[in-house]
Amino acid sequence: MKTVKSIKPDWKWGTSEGNRRLDRLLDRELTFRERLEWLQEAETLSLRLQANRESQSEDMAQRDCSRSEV
């Protein structure tokens, strides 16, 4: 089991480069299982967003067809 050392806050985290460094630092603290879970959740979110976009485009197409019929 990994021991988590305390991370001291830094004002540089507010910059883009500092934020990237913080992300790398936090990523090193993740276990392999946590990384896999994160990837699975990200994939699930991506698939749900894609399905939502597709359903919205279908709804828009149906609305356009119903308006043209009237």
Query: How far, in Å, CA of 6 to CA of 27, rounded?
Result: 14
Q: Does 38 reside within a domain? A: yes
Give the pLDDT band of residue 7 (cuts 50, 70, 90). Answer: confident
The predicted-structure confidence for 24-61, as pLDDT tens digits, reads as follows 888 888 999 999 999 999 999 999 999 999 999 888 87
Higher pLDDT, 67 or 28: 28
Q: Does 16 reside within a domain? A: yes
Span of 1-5, 8-12, 36-40 with lowest mean pLDDT:
1-5
Q: Does 4 reside within a domain? A: no
Instruction: Look at the chain and report how many structural domains it folds into.
Output: 1
Query: How far, in Å, CA of 25 to CA of 6, rounded?
Result: 11
- Which domain covers residue 44, as residue numbers? 12-69
Q: Does 1 reside within a domain? A: no
